[in-house]
Amino acid sequence: MTYVPATRFLMAIVVVTSLSGCLPDQNDSMPAQVAQSPSSDTLPVSSAHGTPKVEVAASATEIMLVPADEKDLDALIAKNKGKVIFIDYWATFCGPCKKAFPHTVDLHKKHQAEGLVVISIDFDLLEDEAKVKDFLQKQGATFDNLISKYDGGGTDANDAFGIGPLPHLRLYDRQGKLRHKWEGKAEGLDAKVKELLAEKE
């Protein structure tokens, strides 16, 4: 996987934007939001990297941050087959990521009852775990939160996860197929989420 070229990326944005005219009108008749307690599911952590630092939530609202590599992420995606999965690849040093994060939380709140699963994966140094958790806690990120086992920036992390510089966002359909990917601003994200949620499994 190589970078999305800037020009082609912009072109894709234009195309996606114009494509939204093709989609059914987005009306306001969304199903009523159902308050749900945060998922108690934890990631299957492989033991290959030593003792996993899985923190046990003291209360339902305490954020957990689970170290993960690409295989762990794939396993989490596979486990959620049948749901639409949105993945936010981010880091505390990524300004645009932090700016967009409340929207990720909003998407989860709005659509989890319809079958949207949200996963965040952070790329800070592992030693910055407390800072990462603090941000997630303040954001109310009550979904699966991962931190890259690759310990900060590196060509290994980028190659393993198939990403370039952050922000990076991905949307998988109910079959577990990667359908959309954004590098930078997530143009048309909400419409795509609604579109994939409307698809049958």
Partner 1 sequence: MNSRLFSCLTFALALLTIPVSAADLDIGAKAPEFKGLEGVNGKKVSLDDFQAAKVLIVCFHCNECPVSADYQERFIEFVKKYQDKGVAFVAINCDIVNAEEENLKAMKARATEMKYNFPYVIDPTGKLADDYTAKATPHLFVFDSQRKLQYSGAFDDKQKREKVTKNYLADAVDALLAGKTPAVPKTRAFGCGIKNKPDEF
Using the contact rule CB under 8 A, the part of the chain among 13-21, 51-59, 114-122, 137-145 near partner 1 is 13-21
- 159 contacts partner 1 (rule: CB under 8 A): yes
Least distance between partner 1 and beta carbon 62 (Å) = 26
C-alpha angle 66-83-75 in degrees, rounded to nearest 5: 40
How far, in Å, CA of 54 to CA of 51, rounded? 9
196 lies in the binding site for partner 1 (CB under 8 A):
no
Q: Which of residues 166-195 bind partner 1 (CB under 8 A)?
A: 166-167, 179, 181, 184-185
Q: Smallest distance, Å, CB 15 to partner 1?
A: 6
Q: Which residues pair with 181 in a beta bridge?
A: 170
Question: Is residue 142 at the binding interface for partner 1, with CB under 8 A as the rule?
Answer: no
The rounded distance, in Å, linking the Cα atoms of 165 and 179 is 20
Taking CA 37 as the corner, what is the angle to CA 36 and CA 43, rounded to the nearest 5 degrees? 115
Binding residues for partner 1 restricted to 76-115, rule: CB under 8 A? 93-96, 99-100
| Bridge partner list, 183 | 168
Report the C-alpha dihedral over residues 9, 165, 103, 189, rounded to 10 degrees.
20
Taking the complex as a whole, the smallest distance from the CB of residue 165 to partner 1 amounts, in Å, to 4
User: Which residues make up the interface to partner 1 (CB under 8 A)?
Assistant: 1-8, 12, 15-16, 19, 22-23, 93-96, 99-100, 125, 151-159, 164-167, 179, 181, 184-185
